[in-house]
């Protein structure tokens, strides 16, 4: 999924922004959430989110109105109504598996121009089944610097929950008593394979580079706030980004044919359920050993390093925010 920050470049809200990565801070910024579940057939499902892909920060800073749309047939007229009042209009399109924000530019003859592309309503109806319009206005004429300052403050508040989730992940590597702990799952061939490929698949996607984007944004924000703390925070999150890349590959052993093929299929964007089931069966019946204990040790050490780097990074951001007056 393409990060949200480019969507704001052609909006009134974007006037005065000198680098697009700053919009990453405006749209929810970095985060982390963790969920591991099993279905009725005991199939493991790992869910990781490394950024909040929404516009929640802006909705608390700017004047924000929501217009619900109950059918695709009503969407063009609803967009025209939303745009008639001025402001910047974004459409949240949803289906069972995902959400997607589109910056609305114009609508004409059942065709919507959004995110720089032309979208016939018939196509949108195939991809999404729920729509909601978000209208943003800036009556207090907040500057881009003021909006960024407010978003960084909200980011620090939200990130406390992310740190707790990361620490919980560490505990799942240490305590057998915890439900869905990684110790017992990685000790089975089936569990090891499923965690290895799901971890790599999710953290190797484009949105997993959010720490790198956040680091770039902080570097450019430091020019506004003239505080070395943001430059130092940017360096810490850049190092964190490198550790996240390391995590994605820790359990992928290239000595094991099934894992090697899974690795290549994911990289080629050809991974499917059929591939997963075939290679899982191959991996279970393989006699090639994997040093699971060593890989768990490296995994835990890497997670602890991420927690250390990002905690220090947030402390640097806090130092800057507390030292800047936006009166």
Please report the domains of the chain, with CATH numbers, ordered by start residue.
Answer: 63-137 (3.90.70.10), 143-323 (no CATH)
Q: Is the CA virtual torsion 46, 57, 161, 212 positive or negative?
A: positive
Of 17-26, 123-132, 153-162, 185-194, the one with minimum mean pLDDT is 17-26
pLDDT, one tens digit per residue, over 165-224 is: 999 999 999 998 888 899 999 999 999 999 999 999 998 865 567 899 899 999 999 888
pLDDT of residue 326: 62
CB-based contact 119:69 (threshold 8 Å) = no
What one-character DSSP code corresponds to residue 91? E
- What is the average pLDDT score of the chain? 87
The band of 21, judged by pLDDT with boundaries at 50, 70 and 90, is confident
What is the spatial distance between Cα 218 and Cα 220, in angstroms, rounded to a whole number?
5
Q: What is the arithmetic mean of pLDDT over 120-137?
A: 86
Q: What is the arithmetic mean of pLDDT over 89-107?
A: 83
**Predicted structure pTM score:** 0.85
Q: At what angle do helices 189-203 and 257-267 cross, to 10 degrees?
A: 20
pLDDT, one tens digit per residue, over 237-278 is: 999 999 999 999 999 988 899 999 999 999 898 999 999 999
Of 47-51, 98-102, 110-114, 287-291, the one with minimum mean pLDDT is 98-102
Query: What percent of the chain is modeled with pLDDT above 90?
Result: 44
The band of 140, judged by pLDDT with boundaries at 50, 70 and 90, is confident
Q: Spell out a b/e string for 45-83, using b for 16 or more CB atoms within 10 Å of the CB, else e.
A: ebebbbbbbbbebbeebbeeeeeebeebeebbebbeebb
Indicate if the pLDDT at residue 327 is higher than 60: no
């Amino acid at each position: 999924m393409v990060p949200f920050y480019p969507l704001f470049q052609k909006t009134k809200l974007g006037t005065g922004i000198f680098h697009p990565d700053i919009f990453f801070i405006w749209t929810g910024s970095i985060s982390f959430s963790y969920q591991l579940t099993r279905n009725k057939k005991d199939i493991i499902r790992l869910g990781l989110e490394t950024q909040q892909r929404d516009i929640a920060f802006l909705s608390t800073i700017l004047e924000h109105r929501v217009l619900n749309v109950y059918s695709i047939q009503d969407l063009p007229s609803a967009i025209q109504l939303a745009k008639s009042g001025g402001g910047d209009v974004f459409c949240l399109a949803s289906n069972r598996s995902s959400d997607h924000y589109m910056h609305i530019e114009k609508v004409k003859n059942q065709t919507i121009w959004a995110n720089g592309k032309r979208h016939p309503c018939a196509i949108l109806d195939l991809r999404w089944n729920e729509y909601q319009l978000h209208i943003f206005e800036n009556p207090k004429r907040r500057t881009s610097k003021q909006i960024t300052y407010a978003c960084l403050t909200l980011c620090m508040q939200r990130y406390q929950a992310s740190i707790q989730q990361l620490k919980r992940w560490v505990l799942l590597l240490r305590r057998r008593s915890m439900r869905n702990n990684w110790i017992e799952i990685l000790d089975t061939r089936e569990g090891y394979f499923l965690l290895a490929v799901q971890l790599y698949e999710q953290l190797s996607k484009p949105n997993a580079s959010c720490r790198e984007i956040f680091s770039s944004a902080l570097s450019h924000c430091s020019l506004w706030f003239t505080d070395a703390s943001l430059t130092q925070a940017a360096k810490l999150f850049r190092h964190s980004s490198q550790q996240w890349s390391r995590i994605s590959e820790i359990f992928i052993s290239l000595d094991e044919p099934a894992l090697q093929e899974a690795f290549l299929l994911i990289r080629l964007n050809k991974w499917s359920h059929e591939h997963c089931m075939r290679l899982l069966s191959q991996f279970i019946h393989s006699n090639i050993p994997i040093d699971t204990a060593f890989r768990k040790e490296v995994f835990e050490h890497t997670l602890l390093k991420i927690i250390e780097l990002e905690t220090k990074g947030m402390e640097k951001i806090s130092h800057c925010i507390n030292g800047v007056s936006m009166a």
